[in-house]
Amino acid sequence: MSERVAVRKTYKLFIGGKFPRSESGRSYLVQDSNVSLASRKDARDAVVAARAAAKGWAGATAYNRGQILYRVAEMLEGRREQFVALGVPADEVDAATDRWVWYAGWSDKLPQVYGGANPVAGPYFNLSAPEPTGVVAVAAPESPALLGLVSVIAPAIVTGNTVVVAASPSAPLAAVTLAEVLATSDLPGGVVNILTGHPKETVPTLASHLDVNAIDLTGVADADLATELEVSAAQNLKRVLRPAPAGHDWSADPGITRMTALLETKTVWHPKGV
């Protein structure tokens, strides 16, 4: 019997729930696999997809969003071996799975912690409720490949934002495999969009894009570049999450700041006693 021909895999982008090649046709080699090299145009297409998905995702009930994030954890658990084969340590995969569960639990609890009734001097109920900011651009940390990526995506989407992520250039395989997990988790297409390649090409486009509402610069190691990006983000007053100067400890308790940094507050005055 002849030897079986290997089925080689091309790692493509994840935009609008689909896996397209880069519009530029470019690719680069990582761990012997071809990975799409996203262009500025791909970044723009991803923003369009994220914007299209924003309304439906923000309008889904918190309960539903929590269920879907939990479903992501389930699917990730099922693909544990695949990530290990890509070189992600087993305990990192477990930690990443747990992180999805942890954030899934926050979906219907954050409004109580971060919003609430305000005492006011008048006959009104005064209520503040957190609302998603909209489309969030994310520069994912260089490493850890999976846990770092999950730790920036989950807090942004759990509250109803949609994201365009520039994945770590050195570890795109884990990012695309995570995209496959997301694509099979009932997550609506366009809520998470992942661009592989050089963040230096795509992130400046996202930072200056006027249809992006917030940018998370966590993965930008170069301080000058981070400043430059923050300046272009200022053009339409994007919310900016700065990279931590001392680096991040991704295994520590994440706290709620990553979620609350990407929220708006809506306050409603409602007359009472009538």
Partner 1 sequence: MTATATSARSDLSELGRSETALRTFLHGLPGVDQVGAEQRAAQLGTRSIKTSAKAQAIDLAIRMVDLTTLEGADTPGKVRALAAKALRPDPADPSCPHVGAVCVYPAMVPYVAEVLRGSGVHLASVATAFPSGQAPLEIKLADTRAAVEAGADEIDMVINRGAFLAGRYAEVYDEIVATKQACRDAHLKVILETGELATYDNVRRASWLAMLAGGDFIKTSTGKVPVAATLPVTLVMLEAVRDFRAATGRQVGVKPAGGIKTTKDAIKYLVMVNETVGADWLDPDWFRFGASSLLNDLLMQRTKLTTGVYPGPDYFTLD
d(CA 194, CA 179): 7
Mark the segment that binds partner 1 (CB under 8 A) among 14-22, 158-166, 201-209, 251-259: 201-209
Residues 6+ apart with CB under 8 A from 45: 15, 16, 23
21 is an interface residue for partner 1 by CB under 8 A: no
The correct pick among 12, 65, 209, 258 for binding partner 1 (CB under 8 A) is: 209
Question: Bridge partners of 265?
Answer: 130
7 is an interface residue for partner 1 by CB under 8 A: no
Mark the segment that binds partner 1 (CB under 8 A) among 75-83, 97-105, 169-177, 206-214: 206-214
200 is an interface residue for partner 1 by CB under 8 A: no
47 is an interface residue for partner 1 by CB under 8 A: yes
The correct pick among 205, 215, 229, 250 for binding partner 1 (CB under 8 A) is: 205
One-letter identity of residue 139: A
235 is an interface residue for partner 1 by CB under 8 A: yes
53 is an interface residue for partner 1 by CB under 8 A: no
Would you say 172 and 14 are in contact if contact means Cβ atoms under 8 Å apart? no
User: Strands 124-132, 116-117: parallel, antiparallel or unpaired by DSSP?
Assistant: antiparallel
d(CA 196, CA 166): 6
Residues in the interface with partner 1 (CB under 8 A) total: 11
